[in-house]
Amino acid sequence: MNQGQTVFSQVMDFVPMYKFRKCVQRYRGNHRVRSFSCWNQFLCMAFAQLTYRESLRDIESCLNSLPNKLYHMGFRGSITRSTLANANESRDWRMYADFAQVLIHTARDLYKDDALGVELDHTVYALDSTTIDLCLSLFPWAHFRKKKGAIKMHTLLDLRGNIPSYIEISDGKVHDVNILDDLIPEPGSYYIMDRGYIDFARLYRLTQCCAFFVTRAKTNLQFRRLYSHPVDKSVGLQCDQTIVLRGFYAAKHYPDNKLRRTRYYDAETEKVLTFLSNNFLIPALTVAQLYRCRWQVELFFRWIKQHLRIKAFYGTSSNAVKTQIWIAIAVYVLVAIIQKQLQLEASLYTILQILSVMAFEQVPIMQVLTDFDYKSIEIDSDKQLLLLDL
């Protein structure tokens, strides 16, 4: 029952405070802090993400416009842009990264029984990265090109619920394939990747860990066909082969050099796609369906870029940028947890739109998210993503 709490405060009630404090204590986040605690910092940044604030001045003005409601929203003490800027610059971003992982663990457990769209009981991941362009003069640490700065957000997305299970933020020069060195493969899981991740030494490590991969084959792949298996060409399959690698380095880096090569004609795009996999047991059509599921990670990147603040930053240091990104991820996962725990039919996009305009209201959150006429909200067309309906 709502007892004067604002909608924003009720959203924050879903945060596991004990685990948040443990993450803060791990990095001594509140050491020598007098008034503006790490919890206040998290609340400010989460409010900025939920309501799409443009700047630190915007955050300060919006929160201080209704000072009588700040206490009911969980804030303690005054909110100033200089204090918030200093907190983002100086407090270790890793405590928010650790806390986001706590929420990710909770969300993945909630969504583990969701339908995948492919008849598989195993966990399926999509691995990809997105580049966030930055001004090199303002972000000199974000090395990318000679006159251009950027960072990359490498993401391993659990396709059951579209929950990111692993995120690494690097400068723009880091090649995507290097992230495979940091992953700990889960036996029996499937990793769906594009051609940028083809490195046979790293793919062989997945095979050694009893994990499976599906990726696009490069056009210059050197191989020899061992067997051809029958396929149903009426569904778009053109071939299903067992091959061996013929290139010197490919055969050297992938000693057990037998792979599965599947070719599929996509009638929608009128393209012929060739896939490589180390799984010889699933149907050939399932290989193509798994790769199609990889598109969900592209939609995830597009969604968070449009609906959360991860392209324009409130600070220019590496610590401030990573703090903002990790809190944005925590907000995304927190909304996903709310959607599941309250058994809401509305999409994440709709929930965010409702929360953005009702944050200061003192009504029960369940009533807001179920009875609110969200179709009447004026939505900026350039922030819509009709492809993703979680």
The torsion angles phi and psi of 3, rounded to 5 degrees, stand at: -125, 60
Written as six digits, the tokens of 279 are: 């799984």
Q: 211: Cβ–Cβ under 8 A, 6 or more apart, which residues?
A: 185, 186, 187, 188, 189, 190, 191
Q: 249: Cβ–Cβ under 8 A, 6 or more apart, which residues?
A: 200
Long-range pairs of 129-133 with CB within 8 A, sequence gap ≥ 24: 129/153, 129/154, 129/155, 129/176, 129/179, 130/155, 130/301, 130/305, 131/172, 132/305, 132/310, 132/311, 133/311
The torsion angles phi and psi of 128, rounded to 5 degrees, stand at: -165, 180
Sign of CA dihedral 303, 306, 312, 313: negative
Burial degree of 194 (CB within 10 A; 0-12, 13-18, 19+): middle
Burial degree of 265 (CB within 10 A; 0-12, 13-18, 19+): middle
Please count the CA atoms within 13 angstroms of the CA of 119 that sit on its side-chain side.
Answer: 5
For residue range 320-344, list pLDDT tens digits in order: 999 999 999 999 999 999 999 999 9
pLDDT at 71: 81
Strands 271-277, 258-266: pairing is antiparallel
Query: Closest by alpha carbon to 251, among 213, 216, 224, 228?
Result: 224
Please count the CA atoms within 13 angstroms of the CA of 344 that sit on its side-chain side.
Answer: 26
Query: Closest by alpha carbon to 101, among 340, 383, 364, 327?
Result: 327
pLDDT at 8: 92
Residues of the chain with pLDDT under 70: 1-3, 372-390
Strands 163-171, 271-277: pairing is unpaired
Give how far Cα 42 sits from Cα of 81, 127, 164, 323, 330, Å. 14, 28, 20, 9, 10
pLDDT at 209: 94
pLDDT at 379: 42
Q: Which amino acid is at 96?
A: Y
Q: Which amino acid is at 172?
A: G
The Cα–Cα gap between 343 and 353 comes to 18
Query: Closest by alpha carbon to 259, among 238, 274, 280?
Result: 280
* Residues paired with residue 121 on neighbouring β-strands, in sequence order: none
Q: 105: Cβ–Cβ under 8 A, 6 or more apart, which residues?
A: none
